[in-house]
Amino acid sequence: MGLHAIELPRRILVGSGVISELSGFLEALGLDGRILIVTGSHVRNNMGSIVTNILTENQHTPVWMEVESATLAEVKRIQQAAAKEEVIAVVGLGGGKSVDVAKLAAHNIRRPLISVPTSASHDGISSPMASIKGMDRPYSMICSSPLGVLADIDLIVNAPARLLASGCGDLLAKITAVWDWRLAWEEKNEYYGEYAASLALLSARFVIRRANEIGKHNVDGVRGVVEALISAGVAAGIAGSSRPCSGGEHLFSHALSLIAPGAGLHGETCGIGAIMVSKLQGEDSTGITDALRKVNAPTTAKQIGVTPEQIAKALVMAPSIRPERYTILHRDGLDYDSALKLAKETGVI
């Protein structure tokens, strides 16, 4: 068994209105100086002046950079700005895209990252992984865990409902991810961390148990999903890989994003993938389907605007996305017809 270091966030603050604590939060982490804030234009318009006021009150002069997309070119642009401005830390403020770009840029220039999510759409909030386009692969890469995570529930509750539902899809995907991880341990003698696996499963079970409340989109439900996403990211930090968070269902999601670009959010396609992969694993997939329905996440190809053929093709292509990451899809190697059958049996098509 190889060794791996466990990397975790050092400070996590979750609660209503905690954005006003950002300055003190940075100070508690010993970050006194210039800060680079990476965000999207929408968040900048809504929150730019509020956040600038919060930071300048305490002599933290923020430098703002807007990102358009999670691409390698954007990561490089952020790195150059960070070097030029001599910042001591990078803040990723926004949805998945801004946090992902900020995370990889901060990692590359060896500066700490502070993650300030404005939605709960996936586990990148606290994980050591970043999903960036324009690399040699379509899946996320391991870099560094954020040093701090500050999640303001008031902001996240006001994000579009679809993003929260997507976050739930990413959480339910841990059920099939952990199953696949165990399979890789049993059949390929891969390192398997039971504690990290249990922690990831705990976050998925929370969604199953609280699906009705989460579906109502109230503060308690949203807070629970945010904590579960942070916890799943921490599970990846403990595992030292994305294994507890990402299995065959994620490979399906990545394949689908190549076959039908732009169809469905990350967590939406992972949730749909989890339904089918769970069935293939010999489990009762209806628990996942029911929970997805209750939280208002899509469970069918039609709901995310893809055809039955595209679903089947993505299932067939999935193992080739990461040949070395052994999952049930690698073991069973679906052909087109059996993929179509699986999608039909699970009600996805």
Interface contacts to Zn ion, rule CB under 5 A:
170
Closest distance between Zn ion and the C-beta of residue 232, in Å? 8
Cβ closest to Zn ion, residue 7 vs residue 170: 170
Cβ closest to Zn ion, residue 47 vs residue 149: 149
Cβ closest to Zn ion, residue 74 vs residue 249: 249
Q: Is 177 exposed, middle or buried (0-12, 13-18, 19+ CB in 10 A)?
A: buried
CB–CB of 100/113 below 8 Å? no
Cβ closest to Zn ion, residue 31 vs residue 291: 291
Query: Token pair of 72, please?
Result: 């390698």
Closest distance between Zn ion and the C-beta of residue 163, in Å? 13
Q: How far apart are CA 172 and CA 36, in angstroms?
A: 33
Q: How far apart are CA 196 and CA 198, in angstroms?
A: 5
- Chain centroid offset of residue 143 CA: 14
| Residue with the CB atom nearest Zn ion in the bound state | 170
Cβ closest to Zn ion, residue 100 vs residue 170: 170
Closest distance between Zn ion and the C-beta of residue 11, in Å? 23
Closest distance between Zn ion and the C-beta of residue 31, in Å? 28
Closest distance between Zn ion and the C-beta of residue 3, in Å? 25
Closest distance between Zn ion and the C-beta of residue 59, in Å? 37
Cβ closest to Zn ion, residue 13 vs residue 142: 142
Closest distance between Zn ion and the C-beta of residue 227, in Å? 17
Query: Token pair of 18, please?
Result: 């905690």
CB–CB of 310/340 below 8 Å? no
Closest distance between Zn ion and the C-beta of residue 52, in Å? 32
Q: How far apart are CA 129 and CA 79, in angstroms?
A: 17
Q: How far apart are CA 11 and CA 116, in angstroms?
A: 12
Cβ closest to Zn ion, residue 26 vs residue 318: 318
Q: How far apart are CA 139 and CA 321, in angstroms?
A: 8
Query: In terms of Cα–Cα distance, which of 154, 95, 147, 144 is closest to 123?
Result: 95
Closest distance between Zn ion and the C-beta of residue 274, in Å? 10
Strands 89-94 and 113-117: parallel
Q: Which H helix or E strand runs over 48? A: helix 41-56
DSSP 183-248: HHHHHH-----HHHHHHHHHHHHHHHHTHHHHHTT-HHHHHHHHHHHHHHHHHHHHHTSSTTT-SH
Cβ closest to Zn ion, residue 219 vs residue 258: 258
Cβ closest to Zn ion, residue 193 vs residue 247: 247
Query: Token pair of 57, please?
Result: 């009150």
CB–CB of 221/213 below 8 Å? yes
